[in-house]
Amino acid sequence: MLSSLIPLQLPSRMQTHLWYILPNEVNNKSLLKHYTQLLSQHEKDSISGMQSDELNKKNALLARTLVRTTLARYHTNNNDNTVVDPRALKFKKNLYGKPEVDWEVDDTTTNHPKLQFNISHTDSLIACGVTLNAPVGIDVEDKTRKMRHDVLSLAKRFYSSEEVKFLSSVEDTESQRKEFIKLWTLKEAYVKALGKGFSASPFNTFSIIRSDAETYNLCDQAGEWKFRLLELAASSHYAAICIEGEDGQEAMNVIVHKTIPFVEDELISI
């Protein structure tokens, strides 16, 4: 018998809650069947229509499950403080195709804080970032990912000149590859947080610079975009988070959990 979903406390204003699933850990057939039952008809059709192998379909299922169950846990029914039904959540896309929750404003039976979310996944990790009232973008990447092209050639073609300068200064090829991927996740996270599609902010039109070991910033930025770069799952993945802060705000705070919906949460110290 599966446990019911446990309610969650909302993120604070400058906080991102990051939830991730490792697909390799989720293989129980009846659990996966339970997850399928949480999806909308559209989501189910979309997954069964995928021209992909079973692993990709499973990951698509886990991604939708992660989004629905996680967001549901931040919403409780007013009468008994139980978590709302994940099936009840509706989604829509903004003008540029970025997915967001579609709130039914006249529903008074549940509380609905203005949560924002963004997902990203690789073959082996699916992540969902959640914020309160702050546009958020996340991107995850396998740390060992090898590019087919020379890293500097890719950077010269797609990144900004400041970023190329930085990458060129990294002497070791392996470190250069890692820095390229870190920058990739940070740049993706920013564009996804902006939510206007990739054509609105081509990668060579903005620079993300590292100011010290842990801090990344947007050069010449309009607005207060905050970045965090983390390593997840036994350092197998880089995860970049970008949120739009408020003037004068401190750095972003991140709380990370590994989760298997309805089974367990594990708080990850970062």
Partner 1 sequence: MASLSATSLSFKAPSIQSTRISQVLRKPSSFQSISFGRFQSSKSLRLQISCAAKPETVQKVSDIVKEQLALSADTPLTAESKFSALGADSLDTVEIVMALEEKFNISVEETDAQNITTIQEAADLIEDLVQKKPAA
- Nearer to partner 1 (CB atom), residue 50 or residue 263: 50
- Cα(50)–Cα(27) distance, rounded to whole angstroms? 20
- Nearer to partner 1 (CB atom), residue 11 or residue 137: 137
Instruction: Please report how close the Cβ of residue 184 comes to partner 1 at its closest, in angstroms.
Output: 6
Q: For residue 60, what are the contacts with CB-CB under 8 A and spacing of at least 6?
A: 46, 47, 50, 52
Instruction: Please report how close the Cβ of residue 43 comes to partner 1 at its closest, in angstroms.
Output: 16
CB 73 within 8 A of CB 83: yes
- Nearer to partner 1 (CB atom), residue 142 or residue 265: 142
- Nearer to partner 1 (CB atom), residue 60 or residue 66: 60
What are phi and psi for residue 78, nearest 5 degrees? Answer: -60, -35
- Cα(260)–Cα(205) distance, rounded to whole angstroms? 39
Which H or E element spans position 195? none
Instruction: Please report how close the Cβ of residue 249 comes to partner 1 at its closest, in angstroms.
Output: 29
- Cα(181)–Cα(122) distance, rounded to whole angstroms? 13
Q: Which of 137, 172, 135 has the alpha carbon at shortest distance from 152? A: 172
Q: For residue 67, what are the contacts with CB-CB under 8 A and spacing of at least 6?
A: 117, 119, 128
Instruction: Please report how close the Cβ of residue 233 comes to partner 1 at its closest, in angstroms.
Output: 17
- Cα(73)–Cα(49) distance, rounded to whole angstroms? 29
Helix, strand, or coil here: 22? coil
Instruction: Please report how close the Cβ of residue 157 comes to partner 1 at its closest, in angstroms.
Output: 6
- Nearer to partner 1 (CB atom), residue 113 or residue 198: 198
Instruction: Please report how close the Cβ of residue 50 comes to partner 1 at its closest, in angstroms.
Output: 7
CB 65 within 8 A of CB 35: yes
Instruction: Please report how close the Cβ of residue 160 comes to partner 1 at its closest, in angstroms.
Output: 13
- Nearer to partner 1 (CB atom), residue 114 or residue 157: 157
Binding site for partner 1 (CB under 8 A): 50-52, 56, 122, 141, 145, 147-149, 153-154, 157-158, 184, 188, 197-199, 202-204
- Nearer to partner 1 (CB atom), residue 54 or residue 266: 54
